[in-house]
Amino acid sequence: MAAAEPGPLTSQVLNTADGVPAARLDLSLHRLDPQLMVWTLLGVGSTDADGRCGALVTRDAFGAGMYKLRFETGSYWEARGQTAFYPYVELVFDVTEPQQNLHLPLLMSLFSYTTYRGR
């Protein structure tokens, strides 16, 4: 049986403190309504054993606009018996070419994080 095709937006979270993928980390995708200036929830998910999540939005629902990808980092660290400085991480980004695939990795430790745009 073939694996489900990932959506147009994928992410992978890596726990750089321990050198492992961040499995079972919850995240959500939101889109900004430019008229009302409020965020609308599009999808929720959780990372798999490899720290990957790719089913937050369908191609049809992924249009041009401003988006926010929220990672529940505090809950992840608490489940590991640790306390993080950042209770969550939000990546706000602008999509101008929705036909392209975007990959937004998050590399994190208890006191830092970094991200970049991949494809």
DSSP string, 15-80: ETTTTEE-TT-EEEEEEEETTTTEEEEEEEEE--TTSEE--SS-TTT--SEEEEEEE-HHHHHHHT
Look up the pTM and report it: 0.92
CATH hierarchy code of domain 9-115? 2.60.40.180
Question: So what's the pLDDT on residue 78?
Answer: 97
Give the pLDDT means over successive 10-residue stretches in the chain (119 positions). 69 97 98 96 97 92 96 97 96 95 96 93
Question: So what's the pLDDT on residue 112?
Answer: 97
Question: So what's the pLDDT on residue 1?
Answer: 39
Question: So what's the pLDDT on residue 5?
Answer: 63
Q: Where are the domains of the chain?
A: 9-115
Tokens for 90, please give them: 């939000």
